[in-house]
Amino acid sequence: MRACFLLKVRPEKMDEYKARHAQVWPEMLKALRESGWHNYSLFLRPDGVVVGYVEADDFEKCHAAMKGHPINARWQAEMTPFFESANGHGADDLMLPLEEVFHLD
């Protein structure tokens, strides 16, 4: 299954957001893989819109597994201030998959 979602980074936080993702904690990378996330990418537009793409056998299950992982709680606590409309919620709470309406293959 493929999942795509949108997030919005605060303009003043974009450079730091990119820097943080250039050095994602090894424990976080391991947790993502162990939770079933594959081919996970984040793309950032100049206006702060983040497009996330991930492949997983079951996105809901993999998403829930990450939300329950202790390393994710630490990561989300540090990353929450980067996002617009977070209102104290972690970015993982804002990951609402978009409906796929076309796929070439």
Active site residues: 21
Regarding beta strands 38-44 and 2-8, do their DSSP bridges make them parallel or antiparallel, or are they unpaired?
unpaired
Give 89's contacts (C-beta < 8 A, 6+ positions apart). Answer: 80
DSSP 83: B
In the Cβ-directed half-sphere of 16, how many Cα atoms lie within 13 Å? 11
How far is Cα 91 from Cα 5, in angstroms, rounded to an integer? 11
For residue 2, the surrounding DSSP H or E stretch is strand 2-8
